[in-house]
């Protein structure tokens, strides 16, 4: 009986020690050398993509990402720099895509003459992209690829 208890205690301590080592190695790969109880320095900011190319969307109704830098853009109650290019009246001159018609609808589905206050703060949904590599690999597959696998004759 005592031997069983001793073996169980040894197994439990080995399991606890290995999980602590695993947690430390996983966290250190993402956190850098900082111990778990310290915050550590913030990683340097990665440069933003700054192209005119549209990014492919990964699912229906995904808000388009911002393909250019927006550093210094004023988007607050006093103004919205994005509208200097993306407003209906400015797209012919700027060659930027016009805001979706959904940005001119109120919560009841009624169309407004100007951008809805609910859609005025662009970075609520639209985000710029950096050139950073993801810190963790993933196997994300976009919806078109998923649908192609389900079609007759598609890969399985």
Q: What value does the mean pLDDT take over residues 37-62?
A: 84
pLDDT digits 0-9 by tens, 123-146: 999 998 888 888 888 888 888 888
Q: Give the chain's mean pLDDT.
A: 82
Quickly state the pLDDT bin for 74 (edges 50, 70, 90): very high
Nearest to 37, CA basis, from 23, 47, 48, 51: 23
């Amino acid at each position: 009986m005592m031997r069983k208890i001793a073996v169980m205690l040894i197994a439990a301590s080995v399991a606890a020690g290995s999980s602590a080592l695993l947690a430390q190695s996983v966290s250190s790969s993402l956190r850098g050398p900082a111990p778990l109880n310290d915050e550590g320095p913030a990683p340097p900011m990665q440069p933003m993509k700054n192209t005119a190319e549209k990014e492919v969307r990964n699912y229906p109704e995904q808000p388009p990402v911002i393909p250019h830098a927006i550093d210094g853009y004023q988007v607050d109650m006093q103004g919205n720099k994005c509208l200097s290019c993306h407003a209906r009246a400015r797209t012919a001159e700027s060659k930027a895509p016009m805001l979706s018609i959904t940005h001119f609808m109120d919560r009841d589905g009624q169309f407004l003459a100007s951008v809805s206050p609910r859609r005025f703060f662009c970075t609520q949904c639209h985000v710029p992209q950096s050139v950073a590599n993801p810190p963790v690999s993933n196997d994300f597959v976009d919806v078109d690829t998923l649908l192609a696998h389900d079609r007759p004759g598609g890969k399985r």
